[in-house]
Amino acid sequence: MSGHVALVTGGGGGIGAAVCARLAADGYRVAVVDRDAEAAARVAGECAGLAIACDVTSDVAVKAAVDEATTWGGRLDLVVLNAGSTGGQSGVDDLDVPAYRRVMGVNVDHVVFGTTAALPALRRDGGGTVIATSSLAGLTGMPGDAIYTLSKHAVVGYVRSVAASLADEPVRVMAVCPGFTDTALIAGFRDRFGDFPLLVAADVADAVTAMLARGASGECWFVQPGREPGPFRFRGVPGPAEAGAPPRLHGED
C-alpha cells in the first residue's frame, strides 16, 4: 500500500499503536492521533508517521486532525476510529453524568465526527475505508457496564446504517469488535480475569488487516482468542406476517 495514507485515532497505545505499526509495515503513511501528544509522537516516530494531538470528543478538533493528515499525506485512504474509553458503571443506580458524557463522547461522538470529516477526502481520492472499533459488548450485553455496552452497540448500529447509505459509493464502513484485550483500558481490573484467555493488541491489528483484505462494507467483525476473525452474522429482523403486507425490507426474515 505504498503511498496510501491512514489516520488512526487512539494511536498512542494499545490496539491503536499495534494498528499503526501494522499499517506502516504494510506501506501506509500513518497519521497517529491521540489526546496524549507525547504518546502520539512516540508511535509516529516508530512508524515514520505524523503525530497529531487531538481531543476526539470535539468535532472541530477531529475535522482539523483529518485536514492536517490529508494535507500532510496528500490524500486519505483509511481511517481507523479506535479511540475508546471504559464506562465502569452500571448506568442505573450509580450514574455519574460527567463520566457518562465522556464515554459517549469518546466512544460514539468521535466515530460520527471522524466518519463525516473523512468522507470528503475519501470520496475525492477515489474511495477508501473507515473502520471503527466497537467491542464484543457491541454485539451482546455486558452486565455491570451498561454505559460502555450502550456506546459500543451505538457504533455497530451506526456502521451498519452508514454502510447502507453509502452502498453506491466506493467507501467501505466497517466495525471491529474485539473481546477482552490486554491493554491499558483493563489495567485497573486485570487481576479479575485470572486464567481467562485475553486478546493482545496485535490480534486486533491482524483482524484489521484481514478486514482491509476481504471485508465488506457494513460488516462487524468479531475477534476472540483462538478463533479466526470474521463477520458477525446478524439474525434478520422478523417482518410482518399479515396478508397483504408490504415487501420485506433488506435484512428481514
Position 216 in a domain = yes
Alpha carbon distances (Å) from 112 to 10, 55, 58, 155: 15, 14, 11, 9
Q: How many domains does the chain have?
A: 1
- Residues labelled catalytic: 148
- Structural domain boundaries enclosing 91: 5-231
The closest alpha carbon to 86, from 100, 75, 72, 71, belongs to: 100
Q: Residue 188's pLDDT is what?
A: 59
Position 25 in a domain = yes
Cβ count within 10 A of residue 94? 10
- Rg, C-alpha atoms of the chain: 18
Q: Which residues are within 8 A (CB) of 191 and not within 5 positions of it... i.e. 6 or more apart?
A: none
The per-residue pLDDT string of the chain (253 residues; one tens digit each, 9 = 90 and over) reads 678 999 999 999 999 999 999 999 999 999 999 999 999 999 999 999 999 999 999 999 999 999 999 999 999 999 999 999 987 777 888 789 999 999 999 999 999 999 999 999 999 989 999 999 999 999 998 887 899 999 999 999 999 999 999 999 999 999 999 987 666 665 555 566 556 667 799 999 999 999 999 999 999 999 999 999 999 999 888 877 776 666 665 555 5
What would the grid cell of residue 131 be? 473502520
- What CATH number is associated with residue 165? 3.40.50.720
What would the grid cell of residue 246 be? 408490504
Position 248 in a domain = no
Position 245 in a domain = no
Position 250 in a domain = no
What would the grid cell of residue 136 be? 464484543
User: Which ranges constitute the DSSP H helices of 47-179?
Assistant: 59-73, 97-104, 110-124, 146-165
User: What 3-state DSSP class applies to 7?
Assistant: strand
Position 201 in a domain = yes
Position 174 in a domain = yes
Q: Residue 194's pLDDT is what?
A: 58
Q: Residue 196's pLDDT is what?
A: 63
Position 82 in a domain = yes
